[in-house]
Structure 1
Amino acid sequence: MSDQQPSYMLIPASRRIIAGMVLALANFMVVLDMTIANVSVPHIAGDLGISAAQGTWVITSYAVAEAICVPLTGWLAQRFGTVRVFVTSISGFGLFSLLCGLSPTLDMLVLCRIGQGMCGGPIMPMSQTLLLRLFPPEMRGRAMGTWAMTTLLGPALGPILGGFISDNWSWHWIFFINVPIAVMVTMAALALVSPLETGKRKLPIDGIGLALLIFWVGCLQIMLDIGREHDWFGDPMIVMLVLCSAVGFAAFLIWELTEEHPVVNLRIFRNRGFSSGVIALALCYGAYFASIVVIPQWLQISLGYTATQAGIVTAFTAMSAWAMASFAARALGKIDARIMVSAAVTWLGIMALWRTHWTSSADFWTLALPQLVQGFAMPFFMVPLTTITLGAVAPADTASAAGLQNFLRTMASAVGASVMLTLWENSQRVARSEIVSKLNPGDAQASFAGAGFSPEQARQMIANLVDKESMALAINHLFLLSALALFLSAVVVWISPRPKGRVDASAAH
């Protein structure tokens, strides 16, 4: 690129809009993939002959792989060039999407989802970076607004599209649909945004820090995912994974705090505003993401909803969030960001308490209404919290802070989903024991016998009813715990000082 002219002058004005739409489409594809599989877990589990709990590995493996790759994005862009990293990531995402769809076993599917997450991690920040280079300053606000709309629209359409595809075609197609989009975006990017390529520099890479990060995060997530099936600490393998994760985490902390070029700049945690902000973010986003994993499973397994119906219920949150996004953006700067975040998170906690009254006989709108009302608060939480965390650090540390924030947010989604599923299973066992202890099987069987059921059919009906009610009680318990986590995060955010001035959040996604 010539030093005499800005980057956006290298592309004719007539092609900028098309190039911007291509970049937004790439971002939309990746965001869509975060939620499209959530409602398809029962279909995947049934087809592969695995439990629903094992099926959630498809979600958590993707999130963990993406989280690990996010901190590397800046290094990759400087080492190989922004456009090269973007095009390679899109191509890899399409390839691994194809392999996910072709997977005949859970092992292959999880492995390919890891590859998909590793390729998907750089796409969001790279598409954002290229948009800023593509448009002149006076058009960047509108371009980033379009980009932000794809970020909000993806989670809304993901559950609906995933449910429709799983019900009417096959779960394999939730991955296959990415392939033509990835091919089209790759070709269009090569044709339209190649002039925006940045220079390459040989930069040091913290290989040991990266290896330690992968090691301790991998051990932690495997332990959380398989612990339910291995009696937790009653299994020596789980104990070994816990020890490996703890030792790896301690070694990672020591190494990163002493390394000159760390893969994750942990020194930023010395900033009180940043630390309290990301703690609030992790608590809130972990509770939120876990709910959109658990709710579709409960609706399909216990209430007999189709994947499409479960997707519609789940998607109401993102729909109302999308409608409120512009209001949140206008309010930012006029109202203390801490007030906006605290009020929004408290609102989310109240919605969680609302859900503690769900029953196994709840109708569609009883389930959908809390989802819809919850969404109105989401933009007032996500956008201002980014302002709080990034506004608390020095401008030179903004990129590192954004990468660390995104890493923790994505890790919170994976860990939150695993923890919530474990608590759900444990709560079901406790609730089932309590119901059985108060049940008079003789009277129940007599009632069913009077209705024409055989003794075997009566026993099965009683067992089904007990399971259904225990799952509903467990859901109530989960949302009570979620409400407590959300109310805590609403308080934690006040540890941060009030943001001063405007914050450049372009490094965040």
Structure 2
Amino acid sequence: MSAPSQTALPPLSGTPLVIGTLALSLAVFMNVLDSSIANVSIPAISGDLGVSPQQGTWVITSFAVSNAISVPLTGWLTQRFGQVRLFITSIILFVIASALCGLAPSIEILIAARIIQGAVAGPMIPLSQSLILSSYPPEKSGMALAFWGMTTLVAPIMGPLLGGWISDNYTWPWIFYINIPIGLFAAWATLSIYRTRESATRKLPIDKIGLALLIVWVGALQLMLDKGKELDWFHSGEIIALSAVAVVAFVYFLIWESGEKHPIVDLSLFKGRNFSAGVVAISVAYGLFFGSLVILPLWLQTELSYTATEAGKVMAPVGILAILMSPLVGKILPKVDARWVATAAFLIFALVFHMRAQFNENVDFYTLMVPTVIQGAAMAMFFIPLTSIILSGLSPDRIPAAAGLSNFVRIMCGGIGTSVMSTMWDNRSILHHAQLAEHTGLHNPAFAQAVEKLMAQGMSEQAAWAVIDRGMSVQAGTLGATDMFWMSSILFLILIAFIWMTKRSKSGTPADAGGAH
């Protein structure tokens, strides 16, 4: 986008400001909602399309990876077509892709539609942030970002709840069809308010080789992560080949981008301490957070027999503190060291996952909800302070590239986090089931007594064994999930060290972060 065009635009006021803020927020809401709405619907989608829940998680990861690849292109596309035109085009293409997702007759076509959906969604978040900042006077930029941030916080919360309710009461395609009216309104309202506020455009060369290498290594890496468990990891020639392609393409990508005059990714940004440490902290944390958004509802449905709606209700209360605290964080951040706010967020995340690590197969609804409510406070203190740290100290001309690169790494880590955590959960569950099975058999008095008790109720010996095996599966799946929560809690504590590797930013205001896009 063109900086001169941006600075010359006066802020909006009155009705246009309200409608503009609503339109931009709805577009972001629709975008972020789609990254989480499918989470609790995976069992329904998998069952309807005749695939396993593990294969169904491709519906989530395919969106995340294609979205990650398209984000670095935002800067080039904006300068080529203009931010308003690009934003509206992204919304319309997103609506079309959503319709294709709902109409998909097979998992392969659904994944292809989700790839398209994720790709066209890439420019939406950075451009919405840029447009909303240009709509408010500079002194109110912090509050503008707080309003914007509340949308990005509410959507992941509403996603599981709305997805669960739709899956239980209608059919899963409606989780995609609901984007159509939202997207059409957002596109119309954005066109009405912002058509006279287009940014300047100019033709720039695109780094085609860099883009091709980016697509190859990210795609190969994600395929390896998704198919690894199914193909027994490195015992499979396909996984070895994918790993080799990912490594070779990544190395060539680093070499090419380092010497390219107009790189698609400015790798020199990693020379900055605040940028590199901040990106590691926000990206790994986002991967852990996003991975838990998949693991928790899947565990509730597959092991504890929760319906999709009930699983969504467990996830929903995270919005209470997130919504209440976001404006407060936006107001106090300019006055405090952003590192302390981010540290507090990671400590709360660690506490939340520690509480979840205490769960067992008999956990009640209230116990499940308590850490979810507390997690809302961490979410409110997570994104804006870390973004402020990442972008602090950079010259204005480097900020758009820095924002694109940090978002790319963060979104990609969200997809990787989903794949890694679902694979590790499955592996740990198998291990725990094998350990529990060691104590079965008629040589074990407790096991023999349990079989006799079930047979006394009219069951056959085979049916009694099946009931006990189901109980072991539930216990093993629960132990596997709590292992993931333990790991996440420890990693959040370790990530605090990366926050304190950064220097204190001179401003640390959300406005600085917002200017990134």
TM-score in terms of structure 1 length: 0.95
- 8 Å contact 2:145–2:330 — kept in the other structure? no
Which residue is 1:302 aligned to?
303
Query: Do structure 1's residue 505 and structure 2's residue 513 form an aligned pair?
Result: yes
Structure 2 equivalent of residue 252 of structure 1? 253
Segment drifting more, 182-191 vs 33-42: 182-191
Amino acid at match of 1:98: A
Post-superposition shift, 1:203?
0.6
Question: Which residue does the alignment assign to 1:343?
Answer: 344
1:458 paired residue number: 464
**1:485 to partner: Cα distance:** 1.3
Give the structure 2 partner of residue 415 of structure 1. 416
Q: Is the 8 A contact 1:268 1:393 kept in 2?
A: no
> Residue 30 of structure 1 corresponds to which residue in structure 2?
31
Q: Pairwise mapping of residues 192-211 of structure 1 onto structure 2 (< 5 A)?
A: 192-211=193-212
**CA contact 1:340–1:380 (8 Å) conserved in 2:** yes
Answer yes or no: is 1:492 the counterpart of 2:498.
yes
**DSSP 3-state at the match of 1:485:** helix
Other-structure match for 1:188 = 189
- The Cα of 1:65 is off from its aligned counterpart by 0.9
Of residues 211-220 and 365-374 in structure 1, the stretch that sits farther from structure 2 once superposed is 365-374
* CA displacement, residues 62-87 of structure 1 (integer Å, 9 cap, x when unaligned): 11111111111111011011121111
Contact kept, 8 Å, 1:81 with 1:200, in 2: the verdict is: yes
Structure 2 Cα separation of the partners of residues 198 and 282 of structure 1:
30
5+ long unaligned stretches in structure 2 = none
Distance 1:394 1:46, change over 3 A: same
Q: Deviation at 1:426?
A: 0.5
Aligned to 1:132: 133
Detail structure 1 runs of 4+ shifted over 6 Å in the superposition. 1-5
Structure-2 change in CA distance of 1:299 and 1:322 (3 Å)? same
Q: 1:189: Cα distance to partner?
A: 2.7
> Over aligned residue pairs, what C-alpha RMSD do you find?
2.0
| Residue 448 (structure 2) aligned to one of 434, 442, 453 | 442
**Counterpart residue number, 1:112:** 113
- Alignment deviations for residues 357-416 of structure 1 (CA, whole Å, 9 cap, x no partner): 100010001111111112212222222111111114333322211111111110111001
AA aligned opposite 2:501: I
Q: For structure 1, list consecutive stretches of 5 or more residues without a partner in the other structure.
A: none
- Whether the 8 Å contact between 2:275 and 2:391 is mirrored in structure 1 is yes
Q: Which deviations, in whole Å up to 9, do the C-alpha atoms of 1:203-228 show, x marking residues without a partner?
A: 11111111100100000001101111
Deviation at 1:457, TM superposition (A): 1.6
Instruction: State the SS of the aligned residue for 1:228.
Output: coil
**After the TM superposition, which of the residue ranges 393-402 and 171-180 deviates more from structure 2?**
393-402
**Cα distance 1:444–1:51, how it changes in 2: closer, same or farther (>3 A)?**
same
Q: Select between 151-160 and 127-136 the one with higher mean Cα deviation.
A: 127-136
Q: CA deviation at 1:200?
A: 2.0
1: distance between equivalents of 2:404 and 2:362?
44
* Secondary structure of 1:333's aligned partner: helix
2:45 — aligned with what? 44
Query: Cα distance 1:137–1:271, how it changes in 2: closer, same or farther (>3 A)?
Result: closer
Amino acid at match of 1:456: Q
How far is the alpha carbon of 1:502 from its aligned partner? 4.3
Change (3 A) 1:392 1:143: closer
* Contact 1:215 1:248 (8 Å CA) reproduced: yes
Quote how far apart the aligned CAs of 1:505 are. 1.3
Report if aligned partners of 2:277, 2:498 keep a CA contact under 8 Å in 1. yes
Q: Distance in 1 between the 2:15 and 2:329 partners?
A: 32
Rounded to whole Å, the distance in 1 between the matches of 2:254 and 2:71 is 18
For residue 178 of structure 1, report the CA deviation from its aligned partner: 0.6
CA–CA separation in structure 2 for the residues paired with 1:143 and 1:59: 30
- Of residues 286-295 and 274-283 in structure 1, the stretch that sits farther from structure 2 once superposed is 274-283
CA–CA distance in structure 2, aligned partners of residues 129 and 329 of structure 1: 17
2:472 matches 1:470: no
Whether the 8 Å contact between 1:133 and 1:196 is mirrored in structure 2 is no
Deviation at 1:7, TM superposition (A): 2.7
Decide whether the 8 Å contact of 1:342 with 1:491 is kept in 2: no
- Percentage of matched positions with identical amino acids: 44
Return the offset for 1:235. 0.8
Deviations 1:24-72 (A, max 9, x none): 2111111211211111111111111111111111111111111111111
Mapped to 1, the partners of 2:274 and 2:467 lie a distance apart of: 55
Shifted more, 14-23 versus 70-79: the winner is 14-23
CA contact (8 A) 1:71 1:263 kept: yes
The one-letter code sitting in structure 2 at the alignment partner of 1:110 is I
Shift of 1:13: 5.3
Task: Tell me how far 1:141 sits from its aligned partner.
Answer: 4.7
Instruction: State the alpha-carbon separation in 1 of the partners of residues 343 and 255 from structure 2.
Output: 33
Q: TM-score with structure 2 length normalisation?
A: 0.94
- For the 8 Å contact 1:392–1:497, the answer to whether it is kept is no
Pair 1:131–1:371, CA change in 2 (3 A)? same
The residue type paired with residue 446 of structure 1 is E
Matching of residues 91-240 of structure 1 within 5 Å: 91-137=92-138, 140-240=141-241
